[in-house]
Chains A and B, each alone.
Chain A
Amino acid sequence: MSPADLIAIYFYFFAALAILGALGVVVLRNIFHSVLSMIVCLFAVAGFFVLLNAEFLAAVQVIIYVGAIMVLIIFAILLSTRIMRRDIVQTNAYVLPGIIVSLAFLVTTFFVIISTRFVEDYHVPFYPAWLAEASEKLDNTMIVGWSLMATYSLPFEIASILLLMALIGGVVLAHRKEDD
């Protein structure tokens, strides 16, 4: 089995997993089970990033989407929905708009795919030769880490201030509710 075959197997595995997860989000009747299904879908997307050699993005996908965003959504459900009463009743009131929107999305995606020139069509590397040479030896996570410290150290520190603002804002808002 050649590496290309193996990559194709991985791709179809993750594609099937992503589609099944996304279907589960829509089809499952319990909203909490939908969230768990969404985790499967987002995890499969992390697999795509690995296949595209974007290892750092794959790690970010797992840490941010599977970790943080899904925790936020799970908490939103735990704190707001009365999930104990009954499962969410699924209605088919929006069948026609749903079909129109998804068909439009499908057609748009199709035309974007056939009109895009992919990397193989260019025959010119996208990045400078020294970077290509360096990335033979290094993970792109390392290159991202080095650029964070060397080139982008000020945005890096500003990011921590942004996180500080989010933390203080979240604590202040959540606590005000509790005092009532």
Chain B
Amino acid sequence: MPYQDYNWVALFILAGIAFTGVALLVAWLIRPSRIAFSKLTTYECGEEPQYTAWIRYNPRFYVIAIIFLVFDVDVVFMFPWASAYKILLFGIPYHFEAIGLPAFGEMFIFLVILLLGWLFAWKKGAFEWV
């Protein structure tokens, strides 16, 4: 990506910040300010919130985090593969030879190996909640 294109990325970031700021500012300007205790509690779909949210969490969430980590790293490998898929299929003369279908196969093997781990976690009951 030529570096000029990053100005658009910067514009998106600025627009995001401005949008949030303007929305909060307008809400602050037009809203009435009548503070009540029940308004300041966490919105919980009709349930009365109890105690604080700052507690130790159940360790079973940790397994989910580990599985997320592995597939997050997997995305790091998939992302250059996907963005190079065109030159993998067709190649660029003198610079990059075309690889063709094996490029698909290599990623398939990669994902199948990871799928084994996912099946292991499933069999082990990592996704069961009750």
Contacts and interface: CB of A to CB of B under 8 A. Distances in A.
A134 B68 CA distance: 35
B69 interface: yes
Interface of B: 1, 3-4, 6-7, 10, 52, 54-57, 59-63, 65-70, 72-77, 79-85, 87-88, 92, 94-97, 99, 102-103, 106, 109-111, 113-114, 116-118, 120-121, 124-126
Contacts of B60: 174, 178
B113 A160 contact: yes
B80 A141 contact: yes
A167 B121 contact: yes
Given A6-B7, A82-B56, A150-B99, A75 B106 contact: no
A68 B69 contact: yes
Nearest to A84: B54
Contacts of A106: none
5 contacts: A6-B7, A157-B106, A157-B109, A157-B113, A167-B114
A68 B72 contact: yes
A79 interface: yes
Given A144-B80, A167-B120, A79 B6 contact: no
A141 B61 CA distance: 33
Contacts of B74: 160, 163
Contact of B114 (A60, A137, A144, A164): A164
Interface residues on A, range: 35 or more
A19 interface: no
Interface in A43-75: 50, 53, 55-56, 59-60, 63-64, 67-68, 71-72, 75
B59 A174 contact: yes
A8 interface: no
A163 B83 contact: no
List the 5 closest A-B pairs by CB distance, nearest first: A145-B84, A145-B80, A170-B66, A167-B117, A84-B54
B84 A63 contact: no
Interface in A129-149: 130, 133-134, 137-139, 141-146, 148-149
Nearest to B104: A149
B95 A153 contact: no
Contacts of B10: 10
Given A3-B4, A68-B72, A168 B77 contact: no
Nearest to B80: A145
Contacts of A67: 72
A171 B63 contact: yes
Contacts of B99: 146, 149-150
A149 B103 contact: yes
Contacts of A7: 3
